[in-house]
Amino acid sequence: MHPFWRGVLDLLYPPRCEACGRLGREPICDECWAAIERIEAPVCRTCGEPFDPRAQPAPDCADCRRRQRPFSVARSAAYYDGPLAEAIRRFKYHGQMVLGRPLGSIMAEGLAGGQASALDVGTIDAVCPVPLHEGRLRERGFNQSELLAEAVAEAAGRPIVHLLARTRPTLPQVELPAESRAGNVRGAFEARLTEVVQGQRVLLIDDLYTTGATMTECGRALRRAGAADVRVYTLARALPRWRMPAADARASREPARR
């Protein structure tokens, strides 16, 4: 865009930080960027659940000890809290695609070291974004997971391959109580290009990990189609209970009242 017209647009619609609303050129200002809390060890070696560093945790969380996951390892770059939570909401529900690159860079940064190095992206064959149902895609105009996957694929030096399809519309997981989320997405994904999936080591990409229900269903679909290994990487993860105030932690365990 010509500098003159950019200046006119800036006068009419001053650029602002999408997380806090402050005037500024970047989609996420320096103050909000610094406030995004990256997830650090210790975490569950399988699902990446953050452990209280004051405790003496086992290698796996209680949930992973109770059941077998269809993915071998899952990690998230940062906590879904504060400026990052607001930026993700603006990204997904307000069409602020300008946030795709800075949010993707958080994921790319996380692959360089720390707890996300357990993903061992040098050994994967394909990066696969979690798909939207075609109706939701038409409504939103873009798949936020695909934009995030572009940054991860570039950092990992691996191709994006669309190996999954969403077979039916589902309610947004964020609107449901934890115990309803697995049923909401059960059977909602299927592998396509099955001849390509077979024997592949796949890195699944999504924006948010809460209960893991979506990633579990995607992992099952890929494993049924013959994937050799499925790993999971998300931009953000819900705060663990030990990080929540007591009242919020109790509410997270109770069904939503409608």
pTM of the entire predicted model:
0.87
What pLDDT is stored for residue 246 in this prediction?
55
Residue 228, Ramachandran bin (φ over 0: left; ψ between -120 and 50: alpha; else beta)? alpha
How far is Cα 19 from Cα 42, in angstroms, rounded to an integer? 28
Write down the pLDDT at residue 8: 35
Asked if residue 2 has pLDDT above 70, the reply is no
Q: Indicate the SS3 state at residue 171.
A: coil
Q: Which amino acid is at 222?
A: L
Which tens digit of pLDDT belongs to each residue from 133-175?
A: 998 899 999 999 999 999 999 999 999 999 999 988 776 676 6
Please report the pLDDT score of residue 113 as a whole number. Answer: 82
pLDDT digits (tens, 9 = 90+) for 60-94: 999 999 999 999 999 999 999 999 999 999 999 99
List the one residue out of 180, 243, 236 whose CA is nearest residue 206: 236
- Please give the order of strands across the beta sheet that includes 229-237: 73-79, 229-237, 201-209, 126-129
Beta-carbon contacts of residue 78 (< 8 Å; ≥ 6 apart): 36, 37, 38, 39, 84, 106, 110, 235, 236, 237
The runs of H, that is alpha helices, within the chain are 3-12, 30-35, 62-66, 82-93, 100-110, 134-140, 144-156, 178-185, 194-197, 213-224, 246-253
Mind listing the domains of the chain with CATH numbers? Answer: 27-38+74-253 (3.40.50.2020)
* Model confidence band, residue 248 (pLDDT cutoffs 50, 70, 90): low
For the cut 80, the answer to whether the pLDDT of residue 235 exceeds it is yes
Separation CA 240–CA 248 (nearest Å): 11
Work out the mean pLDDT of the chain and round it to a whole number. Answer: 87
Cis peptide before 42 (omega within 30 of 0): yes
At 165, the amino acid letter reads: A
Q: In whole angstroms, give the CA distance from residue 217 to residue 70.
A: 8
